[in-house]
Structure 1
Amino acid sequence: MKNLLYLSILFFGVGCSAQKNQSETSGNNNPVFPGWYADPEGIIFDDTYWIFPTYSAPYEKQVFFDAFSSPDLVNWTKHEKVLDTSAIKWANRAVWAPSIIKKDDRYFLFFGANDIQSNEEKGGIGVAVASTPEGPYKDHIGKPLIDKFHNGAQPIDQFVFKDVDGEHYLIYGGWRHCNIAKLNDDFTGFVPFENGEIFKEVTPDNYVEGPFMFVKDGKYYFMWSEGGWTGPDYSVAYAIADSPMGPFKRIGKILQQDPKIATGAGHHSVIKVPNEEKYYIVYHRRPLGETDRNSRVTSIEEMHFDENGLIKPVTITHEGVEAYPLKK
């Protein structure tokens, strides 16, 4: 009975706003906080690390987002329900894969909702806005930003990318298709590319979902998830190009399961420490022995590059990362 109580507290919490990770009880840092959470977007605002994940549950219960903040990647504070469907009148289920960015002293949270399967259904990709990272967020435009299938891409798994010139793009797509679109200045719509196209397909080989992009040494690293999200083969691969438009030729996998540690390692993001060549990959995985598709936890590992700028394969661990405060 004591063991059952311990596991309940570890994975589901007790409603407290401040939560420590697993390290205080077991000596390990993965998962980084209690509970079933997936599709984590990691980002830095000021001197604080943030993670905005999907609340991993049946779609009808997946109606809100929690957020987590940390000064050092080890000690995390939970911010409950920073956004829920009561603030998004057109969304009623399956809200997932949040992506956040700060612009003009406001925080914009992009999300998918309703898991639409056709152009006739209500839902797609929305955007909410708040004055602080922890919200509360409100609907920015009162309707989906994208509610149709363009180039075969299901409107899910959105990532907002700020280019080095200050332009913002939305990279998104499920059903093995990925699009990029240029956001307008107030994030209420899109600006057509020079050829008049709004949604440009940039799908690399083996792409399934979960796109992410960052720039390093003038090169654009485009990353995505492969395999089935409910299975053990879920993984992360990448490509490199000279432009956010590609073309992106797949290089290979850099994150995948380890049957001794966890399965289904995928749908990630990357955190770069400002003014340092220090990178972390934030991802979800399924603990060994868990068979429910929603039993996913958020973990972090350090990510390294070789002398040619290629990403070295990431070893998933129970230990995770050591504390690395941003405020020195």
Structure 2
Amino acid sequence: MKKTKKSNYVLFCVSIVFCLIVSLPGLANAAPIHAGPQFVDGYYADPDVQIYNGTYWVYPTRSTQVGESDTGAKSVDIFSSTDMVNWTKYSNVISSANISWLQHSLWAPSGAYRDGKYYIYFAANAINGDGQLGGIGVAVADNPQGPYTDAIGAPLINVVRNGAGPMDQDVFIDDDGQAYMYYGSWGECNVVKLNADMKSLGTWSDGTVYKKVTPTKTGDNDYFEAPKVFKRNGIYYLTYAAGVWADSSYKVMYATSSSVTGPFVTQGIMLHTDTTTADGPGHNGIVQSPTTNDWYIFYHKRYLSSSQRVLAFDKFEFNADNTIKPVEMVEEDTFDDSTDTGWTKYGGA
């Protein structure tokens, strides 16, 4: 049963579902298809998600709130959960206190793990050309919650190559153990090799460092930023944000390839604005549950009544031909979890 914020529809749905639960044995225990609305308090965007030892870790951009100093834009909070319902917040795991070259902005953190070390890759200082202080950095810790320290004391990537802005990075480790980092804004996407130390760049067989992997152009839904790569059935999937992040054109597209270096062929829209629910979903993370094998997309969105971005996630599925079924940004509930999450209260009830 889909939720809505309209009171007349809510009352109607509640009455119908109550009758169904009473009359149909087992319905109350049916597994929810969608995860629901905003899952942590506060204004956040650009979530990456990783699983370490059965615990989900979410790495978002921390949005500066009205009346708050600009220090909010120079720090990262992360969240953990074992059940995707109850989340623990760890504040300021990266900030100007432990990144000496951080000057005025920090965003799009993404996590990775290798050889007992936990890494957060991040974008900082919003540079627009070579020779400026900023770009993609990396911090390291002995535990996923930190404390994190600057791994190299400088940006890992601080140049513009193939037209790709050094930001919106995502680390993908392939089946053979080789780590890659996809990144890029301004309509172009690169991939680089990460060496075993996870804090230096390798070279390709042709001696180059940066390879352009921008998905095929399709028009209004062309790649803009925020690549995320995962692998399934031997296919490399690259999800990305298209449109403008500040309006309803923002959406998640996806492309596929048989190779880690592409070419990536655009397949279609994965998630987009729902004019009855929320606006501008995008800049996502992808994760597969280790217990159920279900796939989830974590993303930010804006409720129709607000310009602030919040975090949400939804389950998604594949067709028999390995294409992705478009995600509906709706909310569902089994009505047996003793919560009213996602429902608007009317008259206090």
Q: TM-score range by the shorter chain?
A: 0.7 to 0.9
Per-residue CA shift, 1:201-242, capped at 9, x if unaligned?
A: 000121100000001011111111000111111001111111
Aligned residues of 2:124 and 2:135 also touching (Cα < 8 A)? yes
- Taking a change above 3 Å as real, the CA distance of residues 208 and 70 of structure 1, as seen in their structure-2 partners, is same
Per the alignment, residue 125 of structure 1 pairs with 136
Secondary structure class of the residue paired with 1:285: strand
Give structure 1 stretches of 5+ with no counterpart.
1-27, 324-328
Does the CA contact (< 8 Å) of 1:300 and 1:320 recur in 2? no
Residue 274 of structure 1 deviates from its aligned partner by 2.2
Structure-1 residue corresponding to 2:314: 301
Which of 269, 283, 293 aligns to 2:285? It is: 269
* Paired amino acid for 2:46: D
- How far, CA to CA, are the matches of 2:40 and 2:133 in structure 1? 33
Distance 1:31 1:161 in 2: 26
In the other structure, the counterpart of 1:314 is 327
Quote the Cα distance in structure 1 between the aligned partners of 2:109 and 2:335.
25
Aligned residue identity for 1:149: V
Please report how far the alpha carbon of residue 322 of structure 1 lies from its aligned counterpart in structure 2 after TM superposition. Answer: 10
Partner of 1:260: 276
Q: Which residue of 1 aligns with 2:227?
A: 211
Q: Which amino acid aligns with 2:38?
A: P
Deviation at 1:276, TM superposition (A): 4.4
Q: Does 1:202 align with 2:209?
A: no
Could you tell me which residue of structure 2 aligns to residue 25 of structure 1? Answer: none
Corresponding residue to 1:245 among 251, 258, 261: 261
Name the amino acid aligned to 2:277.
I
1:18 corresponding residue in structure 2:
none
Three-state SS of the structure 2 residue aligned to 1:125 is strand
1:225 counterpart SS class: strand
Rounded to whole Å, the distance in 2 between the matches of 1:93 and 1:61 is 10
RMSD, aligned α-carbons: 1.9
Kindly provide the amino acid, as one letter, of the partner of residue 287 in structure 1: Y
Sort the Cα spacing of 1:322 and 1:201 in 2 relative to 1 into closer, same or farther, 3 A: farther
Residue equivalent to 1:278: 294
Cα distance change of structure 1 residues 93 and 252 upon mapping to structure 2, 3 Å threshold: same
Distance 1:200 1:322, change over 3 A: farther
| TM-superposed deviation, 1:317 | 2.2
Matched, 1:45 2:52: yes
Residues 50 and 70 in structure 1, CA contact (< 8 A), matched pair in contact too:
yes
Provide the rounded CA distance (Å) in 1 between the counterparts of 2:115 and 2:143: 12
Give the letter aligned to residue 302 of structure 1.
K
d(CA) in 2 for partners of 1:282, 1:322: 23
Q: Which residue of 1 aligns with 2:303?
A: 287
Distance change (3 Å), C-alpha of 1:243 and 1:130: same
Distance 1:276 1:307 in 2: 19
Distance 1:257 1:48 in 2: 30
Q: Is the 8 A contact 1:302 1:321 kept in 2?
A: no
The yes-or-no answer on 1:139 pairing with 2:150 is yes
Q: 1:19 maps to which residue?
A: none
Q: Deviations over 1:103-153 (max 9, x none)?
A: 111101100001112223210000000011111110000000000101111
Whether contact under 8 Å (1:237, 1:252) holds in the other structure is: yes
Of 42-51 and 139-148, the range deviating more from structure 2:
42-51
Query: Structure 1 pair 263/107, CA: closer, same or farther in 2 (3 Å)?
Result: same
Shift of 1:93: 2.0
Q: TM-score, normalised by structure 2?
A: 0.81
* Higher mean C-alpha displacement, 85-94 vs 142-151: 85-94
Whichever of the two has the greater Rg, that structure is: 2
Q: Residue 320 and residue 122 in structure 1: after superposition, are their counterparts in 2 closer, same or farther (change >3 A)?
A: farther
| Contact 2:46 2:61 (C-alpha < 8 Å) held by counterparts | yes
Report the equivalent of 1:57: 64
Q: Would you say the 8 A contact 1:261–1:318 is kept in 2?
A: no
Match of 1:94 in 2: 105
> In the superposition, relative to structure 1, how do residues 176 and 268 fare at CA in structure 2: closer, same or farther (>3 Å)?
same
Match of 2:6 in 1: none
The percent identity for this pair of structures is 40
Change (3 A) 1:152 1:321: farther
Offset at 1:320?
A: 8.0
Query: Deviating runs (4+, > 2 A) in structure 1?
Result: 57-61, 274-277, 317-323
Distance, in Å, in 2 between the alignment partners of 1:141 and 1:93 is: 19
1:88 counterpart letter in structure 2: I
- Listed as ranges, the matches of 1:167-206 within 5 Å are 167-204=178-215, 205=217, 206=222
Q: Distance in 2 between matches of 1:301 and 1:181?
A: 29
**Residue type matched to 2:210 in 1?**
F
**What is the rounded CA distance, in whole Å, between the counterparts of 2:167 and 2:229 in structure 1?**
16
